[in-house]
Amino acid sequence: MASQTHPNPPLAMSGIELLTSATPNGQKISIFLEELGIPYKTTPINLGADEQKSASFLSKNPNGRIPAIVDHSRNDFAVFESGAILLYLVEHYDKEKRFSFDDADETSEMIQWLFFQNTGIGPMQGQANHFHRYAPTKIQYGIDRYQNECRRLYSVLESRLSDRDFLAGKAPGKYSIADISTFTWVRWAAWAGIDLSKFPKLESWMQGVEERGAVQRGLLVPDGEDQIVRLRRDPDVEDPFKGWVMKGQDELKGKHGN
């Protein structure tokens, strides 16, 4: 079983080290590590303190974004980008194909849906979050543009799940990294102003994934709190991300603005 206590017990330069925070992209990896049941160490990254921009972190991910992993069992090999991390873990730690596929066509399907999330849902929902929650000036065009694109992408998922249980594999499909990657963003739909009840198949799928024990454990990494619980109690809860998001915007303007 994967380590659940925090702080995690030290690893003697072996196993996976996960550098992460409690965001959808970070939760993908902690959930998958829990599903795999392999030992791993969590190194929390304080986004508000800009730890993701430290020299130590940038040596693992030059883009300065969480998550990243270091595989101390494979010569301290570092991997960044959540989709790339999931594929790396499949290649080296899912030899029994419990969360992936032997068949080449099914593998291709899995990768297609994984990329659909990484290049579509994540970026578009992130922009919807920004204009809906963070923009200092309300720009209705931006809100509508990205919320509507999120709804369009969700409609694609709704159609895909209309007659199957999971995104990839021969019908009814098999739970895979494509589902894990998509799940962590879909459960935050309300944060972007998206009513998930308008997509009943997708909502049911999300609820089913959320009930898995490994998923519940992974959602508590790295600090023992699943922040969405507070959002579900109070949609107007104090934003846990706004401070570092806006700080990042100011830094971008200072370094890269005209």
Q: What is the pLDDT of residues 171-182, one digit of tens each?
A: 999 999 999 999
Asked whether the predicted pLDDT for residue 2 surpasses 50, the reply is: no
- The CA distance from 47 to 165, in Å, is 35
Give the bridge partners for 80, in sequence order: 68
Q: Tens digits of per-residue pLDDT, 79-127? A: 999 999 999 999 999 999 999 999 999 999 999 999 999 999 999 999 9
Q: What angle separates helix 200-210 from helix 140-160, to the nearest 10 degrees?
A: 80
**Domains defined along the chain, listed by start:** 16-94 (3.40.30.10), 104-220 (1.20.1050.10)
The Cα–Cα gap between 189 and 211 comes to 18
Q: What tens digit of pLDDT does each residue of 24-83 get?
A: 999 999 999 999 999 999 999 999 899 999 999 999 999 999 999 999 999 999 999 999
With 90 as the cut, is the pLDDT of residue 228 above it?
Answer: no
Q: Residue 6 — very low, low, confident or very high, per pLDDT cuts 50/70/90?
A: very low
Cβ-in-10-Å burial (0-12, 13-18, 19+) of 31 comes to buried
Q: Report yes or no: 183 and 209 within 8 Å, Cβ to Cβ.
A: yes
| pLDDT tens per residue across span 9-31 | 444 468 999 999 999 999 999 99
Please give the pLDDT value at position 5: 38
Which residue do the tokens 């992460």 mark?
20
Q: How far is it, in rounded angstroms, from Cα 43 to Cα 236? A: 30
Alpha carbon 51 to its chain's center = 19
Mean pLDDT, the chain, whole residue set: 92
Paired tokens of 99: 């969360």
